[in-house]
Structure 1
Amino acid sequence: MKNPLSSKIFRTELILNLAAIALVVIFLFPVYWMFITSLKSNSEIFARTPTFFPKKIVFDGYIRQLGYSAVPIWVNFRNSFAIAFCTTAVSTVLATFSAYGLARYRLKLAKPIMMCFLISEMLPTVLFLAPLFITFNKIKIMDTLLAPVIFSCLHGIPFSVITLRPYFLGIPKELEDSAIIDGCNRFTAFIRIMVPIAVPGIVIAGAFTFIWGWGDLMGALTFIRTDMLQPLTVNMYKAIGEFGVEWSSLMAFAVIITVPVLLMFIFLQRYLVNGMTAGAVKG
C-alpha cells in the first residue's frame, strides 16, 4: 500500500522541478535566441515566420566583427578586460576592508553608512554622469581608462560592502581573538583568519563587480572618445546604425561579449553556490 505522505512529497517535488525547468527555459531562451540570430542571414532574421533554428548557418556577423576593421577587436577586448579587472580589484579590496570595519567595530554611524550604500545602489546611474564628467575633465582623466573604472566602482563598492558585511558578522569573533592571543596583530588576523573564511562572499562580490565593469556602456561612451581606448560594449553599440540595426553583427558581438562571463561563472560555480548559500544563512 502506498504511503499518502510519500506520494504527496513526490508530487510536490515533481511540481517544483517542473517549475524550476520552466524558469530555466524562460531565462535562457533570450541567450539561445541571441546565439541563433547571430548565425542567421538577414533575410531569415526579417522573415515573417520566425525560425527557432537557422535554415542555413552563416557566419557573416562574426566575420564582420572578427575581420579587419579600423580598431581590431582584440584591442576592444583588452580595454574591456582592463576596465573590468581594475574595477573588480579596487572595489573588492576597498569593500572587504570597509565591510570588516562595519561588522567588527561598534560605530554609531554604521547604520547611516549602510543606508547610504543602499540608496546609492537605488539611484539611477545617469545621475552620476554630469558631475563626474565635470570632475574628470578638471582632474585631466577624461579619455582614459581610469574614468570608466572609477565610474564602475561607484556601484561595485556599495554592492560589495552590502554583500560582504553579513559574512564578517557571521564569523565568530573568538577566532580572531584566538589568533591575536597566539601572536597575530589585528591586520594579520584579518588577512589569515577572516579573509579565507569570507572567500565565498568575496568571490560573489568580485564576480558581479566584474560583470559591471565588463558590461559598462554608459561610462565608456561618456568618458572615452579615442577609438583605441573604447571597450567592446561601445563597438557593439555602433552596430546600431543611423538607418537601421545590423542584427546579425549585433548578436555576434553580444555572443563574443557574453562568452567570457559565462566561462567565469562556470569556473567559479562552486564558490558562487557556496557563497550564496552561506550568505543566505548568515545574512
Structure 2
Amino acid sequence: MRLSLLLPARKHVESATAVARWLARGDRIDDGAVGRDAALRECFSTGAAILPTAALTRSLDANDAADALWLRADPAFVMADAVTLRLLACGKLGLSADETAAFAQTLKPLFGDAGFAFDAPHPERWYLSCASGAPLPKFSAPADALGDDLANHLPEGEQARRWRALLNEAQIALTQHPLNARRSQRGVPPVNSLWFWGAGMLPARVRSEFDRVVSDDPVVVALAGLANVPSSQLESNLRWDDGKERVLIDLADRRDIPRLDAEWLRPIDETLRRRRIERLELRFESGERHVVRPAHRWRFWRRAKTSA
C-alpha cells in the first residue's frame, strides 16, 4: 500500500510520537502550497484555481449542482463586543430540521426578491443558486474569519456593496426571528447571521491518483465521487490489506493530538514497521511534505526531537 496522510499544520502535530519519528527518519521532499484548499487541489485535479466548495457539497446534499453557480450561505452566530462584531460559529449550530425549515421560509423571499434562489437542504449547509456567469465579489472562508473582526472578512470587489447589503438584511430578518428567542431560552446560540463563501460551479471532470479515500469532510467525499474513487468515513479501526492500493486518509481536522497519535498515527507506524505500507507520505496543511519508507526505521542515528 502507498499511503498519503493529510495532516494539520506541522507545528500542531510534530510533537506526536509517530510524527516526530517520521520527521527524524524520513525524507523531506518539495513543499506544496500552504492551506487546506491547496492540499486538496494537489490530491484532486479539478482545473479550478479555487475549489468550488458550495457546488461540491451541493452535489451531495441535493444532487442538482450541475449547470448553476452555487454559493454557500451558512447559518452563523455573530456577537458584538466593545468595538467590533465577531464571527463565533458557522454551520455547526445544532439546528433541527424544523428550525432549518423555519429559517429558510423567512430567507427565501428576501433572496428571491434579489434574484437568487435560497434553500437549506442540510442543517449545516445552506445555499444560494446564482445565474451562471453572475458577477460575485471575493468571499472569505469561515475558517479564516472565526473569532476575528467581521469587518476584515466582508465581501470585497465587484458587487461587494450589494452583498454587504444582502447580509445586513439577512441579519435583521434572522435577529427578529422568534425561533432565536426560544434558542436563547434553551441556552444555545441564535442564528443571527449568514456566511457567504465557497462560490463556484461543479467541475466537469475531477482526476485523482488515489484508489481509495478516507475522510469525514463532505468536500473530500464529493471530490472522490466525481473522480470515481471509493470513499469511506474515518474509523479508528480501519483495516489494512496487502494490496497495491494508493490510499488517502484525511486527518487534517483532528486537533486532539494525543488521541490522533493513539488512534491513528501509532497504528499506521506499526503497519509501516511490518512493511504493509510501502510508502508513507505526510502532507501538512502548512505545506511541508515528507516521505517515509519501512527501511527508514534503521536510521536510528536520526533521533526524534522530544517536546519540551
TM-score, normalization: structure 2?
0.24
- Normalized per residue, the structure richer in helix is 1
- Normalized per residue, the structure richer in strand is 2
- Relative CO higher for 1 or 2, CA cutoff 8 Å, sep ≥ 6? 2
Larger radius of gyration: 1
